[in-house]
Amino acid sequence: MRDGGHFGVIRKPGTASGTTVAFRQVDAGGRLRPAAEPDAGGMPREARDALAPPALARLCEALQSIPSRELRFDLDGADSAGLALRLVKPDGEAGTFRLEWRPSGEQDEYRHRLEQRLAFERLIAALSTELIHAQDDCLDALIERALGQIGRLFDVDRAYVFRFDGARTVQSNTHEWVAPGVSPEAANLQDVPIDHFPWLLEEFRAGREVHVPVVAELGDAARTERQEFEREGIRSIVLVPFGEQGDPEGFIGFDSVHRERHWPDDILVGLRLVSQMFLNAFRAQQMRQRLGMMAFHDPLTGMGNRRFLNDRLAHAIERCRRDGGSLAVVLIDLDDFKLVNDSHGHALGDEVLRHIGARLVAAVRASDVVARLGGDEFVVVAATTGLDPLSQLVERLFAAMREPVVLPGVAYTARMSMGIALFPDDGGDAGTLLQQADTAMYAAKGEGRDRFAFFTPRMTEDSRKALRLRHDLGLAMARGEIRPHYQPRVQLPTGRVLGFEALARWHHPTDGLLMPGSFLGLARQAGLVGRIDCDMLGHALADLPRWRALDPACRVSVNLDAAYIHDDVLLRQLEEQLSAAGEAAACVELEVTECSLMRDIDRSAEALGRLRSAVPALRLAIDDFGSGYSSLAYLGRLPVTTLKIDRGFVAGLAGDNPRGARAILRSILELGAELGLHVVAEGVETQAQADTLVELGCREAQGFLYSAAVDAGQAAGMLQGSRSR
Ligand code: C2E
Ligand code: CA
Ligand code: CA
């Protein structure tokens, strides 16, 4: 419209659909300019706004009837409600159209923008005071909440903070908020090298924010970034760095995965403010932590000091009071450390203490507290769930000192005395507990050092026994003290011996014959039970030929712990042992308890299947069958050959519900028959029980009625006696 030029041109594409329309502005000389150019050449602001896509679409619709491919028009007038257009048709005839461009919806949109901006300003104001007063332990939550508020306010899908490490080599997504239904990405974005996104880094270093309304339009310089954004499904993004120009320390970012969006300048200014506020909060936190470090840390070892200990112990006690847990306070004093100082000097003594501190820290769980009280005294505070884990802890602490600390000119093997006090048993506050632990520690020293004592003496005794057994167990295995006894499996009703079950026995040098109940639990905890099972199989395979010479059909069964079938290494070892046994493997049966099989039925099925295909003749039994799992649906999925009825059911025949016990026995026997499985009744102690079982159709049994477990030689005797019967 300027200087006789036309205000604009509507081009209708050749296709008659008329749906895509390109708007071009015409300059004074009548030349076309793309609409995307910076400023629309002095076009009245209202008119410019009006020609947003919806208005344009409406215009096109109005012009639909005109069969022209190019329409030139002049602006007759523009007011707050619409445009008056004068069309210049090719035949020179002019027509006037009025185009309404701000229907009520757009007015709402305008108001919405305004409200959004005001809300943002309020949010920033509130956040700035909150961040200043934030305690260290709630800063992260506060920042994530703020991200959520901003994210929701601007209707984005993901809002987050990235921070660079001190050396400015990697960046990590430290805080994240995602809209419902949007997948979080933080876990995938830890320790990413910062030069991985060169274009972003360059922009940040230049102190510029990165505003990408349409990710797909990112140029080649930002190819890596575009690919990453697209991988995350981002269509539009804005990233605002924080830190000094030239040395960014991180950035905040907002992703839109559902739509493209343009962030107005005034909002970007607000985001910059937010990012700077976050940075200030991070720096303040760091400063506080450094100061706290000085107050709470032992400068020599870098471990917590007495103040730290009191603080953490009080916290831990509070937590236990609330959640009902228990705590052990272990006070450790090195025996004879004075000698190191006296003979090698303090500098070396300090070095030794540093090493010992580090070993103690390594010996406990990350959630436990270790502190140095001063001198050669240390304290460990651990959450405990019972005597067993506690004696494991004690053993780990002793084990940590087993190797000498080797330094130039000296190799020092630290011995230590430990005193243990328990919360809530021995005291209800930090001071009392430390006092009691100290008393116990002196008791340990009095007993001859290099040992530990509980404040409550009985516990010292029990725990020491458990500790000793655990220690002995390792030696016992090496010395071959754990060997099987064999309990016969007999045919019903004849009582003829068909084979034996190997049951582990510990031939303890001082305590005599120990039953599995007293050491298998320990072995399990120490991770030794797999080796015990392997050993038992080895013994059984060694004893088998002697029995088979008497009865070629004689079988032996060996118990397998659950740990076995879920451990590939052990399983392979077992396969090898059995394969090496050759045709004798057909006389071996492995027993696995029902409940351990059920722990992970799929893996159990797979592991047993593998065993069976490696050693096809192998027999597999479900031990203690019926003890708790009512669903029998899984039975068909396990490649087993035998069911061993839990001895509880046989015992039940003489209990207060004999009819119930009978019914269960009958159904297990029927089920076994249906599935073609051997069924063995365990724990048969009386002739009456045996008679009932025979009546129900049971063909095989095991129990004290026939014999308890005996050694291999006696087993051979029984087999022979039974043959000649
Ligand atoms: P289990 O596999 O059910 O073994 C049968 C247990 O019942 C044995 O106890 C046996 O002595 C006992 N028993 C036999 N007949 C009777 C009876 O008539 N009445 C009663 N009340 N009990 C009878 P033991 O030898 O103390 O073994 C206990 C458990 O320890 C075994 O139960 C088995 O689960 C486990 N176990 C034993 N040896 C090994 C082994 O080498 N490896 C593994 N992983 N576990 C083993
Ligand atoms: Ca068994
Ligand atoms: Ca059993």
Backbone angles phi, psi at 548, to 5 degrees: -70, -25
What string of H, E and C letters represents the secondary structure of 232-267?
CCCCEEEEEEEEECCEEEEEEEEEECCCCCCCCHHH
Question: Ligand 1 atom 22: the closest Cα is on which residue?
Answer: 683
The average confidence (pLDDT) of the chain is 83
Q: Which residue spans of the chain are classified as CATH 3.20.20.450? A: 486-497+527-721
Q: Whose CA is closest to 560, among 595, 532, 527?
A: 532
Ligand 1 centroid–CA 328 distance in Å is 35
Cβ within 8 Å of residue 177, ≥6 positions away: 144, 147, 148, 151, 158, 159, 160
- Ligand 3 centre to CA of 624 (Å) is 4
Instruction: Among 3.30.70.20, 3.40.50.720, 3.30.70.270, 3.20.20.80, name the CATH number for the domain at 306-455.
Output: 3.30.70.270
**Rounded Cα distance, 175 and 145, in Å:** 10
Neighbour order of strands in the sheet with 32-34: 32-34, 22-26, 8-11, 70-78, 82-88, 94-100
Give the pLDDT of residue 449: 82
Query: Which protein residue has the closest C-alpha to ligand 1 atom 45?
Result: 559
Instruction: Look at residue 42 and tell me whether its pLDDT is greater than 50.
Output: no
Residue 73 confidence (pLDDT) above 70? no
Q: Which pLDDT score, from 0 to 100, does residue 325 have?
A: 87
Closest CA to 333 of 266, 265, 379, 399: 379
Residue nearest to atom 8 of ligand 1 (CA): 503
Segments of the chain assigned to CATH 3.30.450.40: 134-292
CB 333 within 8 A of CB 416: yes
Q: Is the pLDDT of residue 351 over 80?
A: yes
Residue nearest to atom 34 of ligand 1 (CA): 559
Angle between helices 104-133 and 265-296 (to 10 degrees): 20
The closest residue, in CA terms, to atom 21 on ligand 1 is 683
703: Cβ below 6 Å to ligand 1? yes
25 within ligand 1 shell (Cβ under 6 A) = no
> Band of the pLDDT at 272, cuts 50, 70, 90?
very high
Residue 123 · residue 152 · CB < 8 Å: no
Average pLDDT over residues 80-103: 59
Q: Is 632 a residue whose pLDDT tops 90?
A: no
570 ligand 1 Cβ < 6 A: no
Are 438 and 419 spatial neighbours (Cβ–Cβ below 8 Å)?
Answer: yes
- Is any atom of ligand 1 closer than 6 Å to the C-beta of 482? no
**501 CA from centroid of ligand 2 (Å):** 7
Tens digit of each residue's pLDDT (9 = 90 or more) over 381-409: 999 878 878 888 998 999 898 888 998 88
- Determine whether the shortest distance from the Cβ of 530 to ligand 1 is under 6 A: no
Partnered with residue 707 across adjacent β-strands are: none
Write out the two tokens for 616.
Answer: 């096809």
Q: How many CB atoms lie within 10 A of CB 450?
A: 16
Pair of tokens at residue 347: 């500098």
- % of the chain surpassing 70 pLDDT: 83
Enter the pTM of the model: 0.49
- 681: closest CA among 618, 627, 625, 620? 625
Mention every residue, 6+ apart, whose C-beta is less than 8 A from residue 338: 376
Strand segments, DSSP code E, in 64-197 are 70-78, 82-88, 94-100, 158-164, 170-178, 192-193
What is 486-497+527-721's CATH superfamily? EAL domain (3.20.20.450)
Residue range(s) in the chain whose domain bears CATH number 3.30.70.270: 306-455
Q: Which residue has the tokens 């090195």?
A: 334
Q: 424: cis peptide before it, omega within 30°? A: yes
pLDDT for the residue numbered 431: 92
Residue 77: pLDDT above 70?
Answer: no
529 CA closest ligand 1 atom index: 44
CB-ligand 1 contact for 561 (6 Å cutoff): yes
Could you say which ligand is closest to the alpha carbon of residue 590? 2
| CATH 3.40.640.10 at 134-292, yes or no | no
> How far is the centre of ligand 1, averaged over its atoms, from the C-alpha of 513 (Å)?
14
Asked whether 329 lines ligand 1 (CB < 6 A), one says no
